[in-house]
Chains A and B, each alone.
Chain A
């Protein structure tokens, strides 16, 4: 269970039986957008460049199995034809495949009739096929299950207090100890929306793991990939230097640390400060947007109201004030000193004719 590349899967149902089998050529990816979401994670995925979607679909990276994407936003097929793959997966005829779930999972048991979320129509009843039913049918056959974004990871914005649908994250629905057919726990890639490159990097990792080229994906207790979510936003934020010097912005649009304006960066596990949003551009706290904790299981309720200094920040910023101000003033002395050239660089002879360097025109003639 610990190390489960596809070909060592104990169920014997994987497409590769041994190390000597042909290398895994392709992996189907079924992407479910019919949770309670906004499809922002799908759109974010199309923004990724490291790798890009077409890098994986067209096989631009050496040795990586081809990604055969079945996604409602990009599929050529529609309606029943689009659902063919889903029915195949539900019957266990698609192997191997990765199931990606986007959007939070509604509680369909909290009402007498009707539905909160569905995809496609059941020909027998004329009613929508529930999103929950799709998960129940398909997830048991998936080699791996990944959540795209905070909604499917932890419930997110749609699970906010007062929501009528009673929706939740996928691990709350399937169980936190749930394991895929490939022996993998649910893999959570939170973010609202998910960071484009974070997500595609996880997909690439899984393609490599499926091909037997990478060990079990390392996850923390909240089932997040550790290399992406171990550090806080603050630790990678390019405004953290201002924090250290207790230099806090008091209005939006200023370049200093924005923790007093409502930024939760010091405690939120997210790498956007370091990575930027796209190709190093944008982000949140690093460019002046307060961190509202959108990668966290407690998002959004535990971070609201957003535009207020986090309670913990009041104490911790007070603690750095003494040190920060002292350091800042001492550094101002040093900086002023270092901003002056050494005195031996100043001209001692005012006569231009005495210069020893030839002009460029002279040197080339």
Chain B
């Protein structure tokens, strides 16, 4: 944690970056910066768009839920559609055939490969490209020119500066290769789920995909090209990210938060998963990415029922009317556990548009929190940008062992087979010392390898079904008059849940909670800032520029390490700041705890 008290009198300058575009319209980061101490003193995160899914879903046919909610997100619409289908399966009491689950897993694996790749090398990558480093840390670029890349023989770039050049937008070789790879993986996705972004082949009860030998062959040949790419990209990113620790001592404090992450699990095991709420803990733990919550290095739970019941949606700084006095849709869950009024099943969304006021209400994002019974706190969990939490929790839980992937309790091992140009390879992702900007980014690369190795296993399983003649991909169902359901999944950038209440055969209440709501949330009713705000507030500044030409690169890297819903390629701030205060003692010394 950056715990040094300010050495010089603070002089705060207000600086905003707006828009930092994310998937739904505009993300803004509004800060107060203490240039004397080269530290961010305060941060507010804002969203300027409201659409209202939770409002216009009411009264609709429950079967339409996944078609509609896919449109929440234009980059991981399939994660929403999948999550909605999981919730529908629970509510309708339907279990898809095994083959359908393998096909969905293959689609989702392709989605992770696509999105992490595009984001890492076309969008985040630009934060580390030659053009930007030259503008923000020319000294670092000089050092990069003279630093050989330790794994140059594997990835082909001799120096760190060569890697940075390869990341320059459009002109860089790696930038263009990543675009190409992102198309290949989207083809893989389209094979399984029909179309990319908004899939056409997902249904409750299964998929519409025609499962033939050709389908899986078409997928596999593309996958192997990606496997070869991943074998180069993991050592490449290790070289790049390790270099930043080396070039800028103390960089681990950039974007650092208290370890407080959630993962809702990914890739169902069709042998175990029957979508019943009663058995949710069991089939949740059987997922090929383990769901769980980790706080300060400790695995608090891997139980999806616990995770579900601990969810609290808080207001405080958001443009909505409270629902504390509104109707309670679900008193107890199917196991008889009480369900809180602030749980998504019981939420009533009523927008209250109003002026933006940083001392009061300033954003359209609400504040999802997780109630930790042991500590009696509502935790502002983050998702580690997705992969960091996924790998961290899977590693700690030590449950996953399939194909060439193994969780050890302290690490995750990922094996990849021989490819045209490179031998059989094993990567090992080890739990890092910090939850910070660099490690969020590093995990993203390792999860690309994880997804590829998982996909190889899923292809094998799917083909075994086809060879055995079990080619059905859908199960019939009827929509009950009254039911509840929930789906837990991982969008690319982290935790994703959908909660549905069905009454009289129609949707009575529907609340999706995507990762960006967790990460981009504002100060809640207890004053606890959301993860972007918290991570940026902790950030020391290493940029060489001063106030006049300050670009905020360390802040941009921090926000982007979370993969703000729409991968933001927007980068540099060139405006001049406005001085607002001369005396101010900002709160240094780590993440404000939930009790503050």
Contacts and interface: CB of A to CB of B under 8 A. Distances in A.
A193 B203 CA distance: 18
Contacts of B570: 72-73, 75-79, 82
B59 to A, nearest CB: 7
A235 interface: no
A292 B67 contact: yes
Contact of B52 (A38, A121, A164): A164
B299 interface: no
Given A39-B75, A306-B67, A77 B574 contact: yes
Contacts of A287: 194, 200-201, 208-210
Contacts of A127: 355-356
Nearest to B135: A76
Interface string A62-75: 00000000001111
A34 B194 contact: no
B230 to A, nearest CB: 20
Contacts of A258: 208
Interface of B: 16-21, 23-26, 28, 48-52, 55-56, 58-61, 63-64, 67-68, 71-75, 77, 100, 118, 122-123, 126, 131-132, 169-170, 176, 179, 182-183, 186-187, 190-191, 193-201, 203, 205-211, 218, 319, 351-356, 471-474, 476, 556, 566-575
Nearest to A58: B170
Interface in A36-51: 36-44, 46-47, 49
A362 interface: no
A327 interface: no
Size class of A's contact patch? 35 or more
A241 interface: no
Q: Which 8 A-B residue pairs are closest in the complex by CB-CB distance?
A: A289-B200, A40-B74, A114-B353, A282-B190, A253-B473, A72-B21, A288-B208, A38-B74
25 contacts: A38-B74, A42-B74, A75-B569, A75-B571, A81-B573, A118-B48, A157-B68, A158-B56, A162-B56, A164-B52, A251-B474, A252-B474, A253-B208, A253-B210, A253-B472, A253-B473, A282-B187, A282-B195, A284-B195, A284-B200, A288-B201, A289-B201, A290-B200, A305-B64, A306-B67
Interface in A299-346: 300, 304-307
A175 interface: no
A275 to B, nearest CB: 11
Contact of B573 (A80, A114, A253, A288): A80
Contacts of B351: 164
B130 to A, nearest CB: 12
Interface in A247-261: 251-255, 258
Nearest to A282: B190
A350 interface: no
B206 A252 contact: yes
A117 B49 contact: yes
Contacts of B567: 73
Contact of B118 (A46, A58, A72, A282): A46
Given A128-B356, A253-B206, A287-B201, 19 more contacts: A33-B21, A41-B74, A72-B21, A74-B169, A76-B572, A77-B570, A113-B355, A118-B48, A120-B18, A157-B68, A252-B206, A252-B208, A281-B191, A282-B196, A283-B200, A288-B200, A300-B68, A306-B67, A307-B203
Contact of A288 (B132, B194, B575): B194
Contacts of B24: 36-39
A116 interface: yes
Interface string A117-130: 11111000011100
B195 A116 contact: no
Given A40-B197, A77-B572, A78-B571, A281 B187 contact: yes
A90 interface: no
A44 B71 CA distance: 13
A73 B541 CA distance: 25
A33 B565 CA distance: 14
Contacts of B199: 289
Interface string A163-195: 111000000000000000000000000001100
A33 B25 contact: yes
A131 B355 CA distance: 15
A255 B49 contact: no
Contacts of A47: 182-183, 186, 196
A127 B476 CA distance: 51
Given A40-B75, A161-B56, A163-B55, A305 B25 contact: no
A79 B568 contact: no
Contact of B26 (A74, A119, A278, A288): A119
A287 B338 CA distance: 44
Contacts, number: 294
A8 to B, nearest CB: 32
B354 A114 contact: yes
A6 B255 CA distance: 49
Contacts of A115: 48, 353
- The listed residue with most A CB atoms (<10 A of its CB), out of B17, B191, B203, is B203
Contact of B203 (A35, A49, A74, A252): A252
A41 B566 CA distance: 12
Contact of A252 (B20, B51, B67, B473): B473
A288 B51 contact: no
A180 to B, nearest CB: 24
A196 B124 CA distance: 23
A88 B351 CA distance: 34
B51 A36 contact: yes
A79 B17 contact: yes
A72 B568 contact: yes
Contacts of B73: 38-40
A289 B210 CA distance: 10
B74 A76 contact: no
A254 B476 CA distance: 13
A347 interface: no
Contacts of B26: 34, 118-120, 128
Contacts of A35: 25
A76 B132 contact: yes
A46 B180 CA distance: 10
Contacts of A17: none
A290 B25 contact: no
Q: Which of A38, A77, A304 has the most chain B CB within a 10 Å cutoff?
A: A38
A284 B64 CA distance: 16
Nearest to B131: A76
A57 interface: yes
Given A34-B48, A82-B570, A128-B26, A121 B198 contact: no
A253 to B, nearest CB: 3
A254 B351 CA distance: 43
A272 B134 CA distance: 44
A54 interface: yes
A79 B25 contact: no
A277 interface: yes
B208 A290 contact: yes
Contacts of A305: 60-61, 63-64
Given A76-B572, A251-B474, A39 B186 contact: no
B522 to A, nearest CB: 15
A247 to B, nearest CB: 14
Nearest to A254: B210
Given A162-B55, A252-B203, A40 B198 contact: yes
Contacts of A72: 19, 21, 566, 568-570
Interface in A73-122: 73-83, 103, 111, 113-121
Contact of A251 (B56, B186, B352, B476): B476
A193 B393 CA distance: 34
A196 B494 CA distance: 26
A118 B353 CA distance: 12
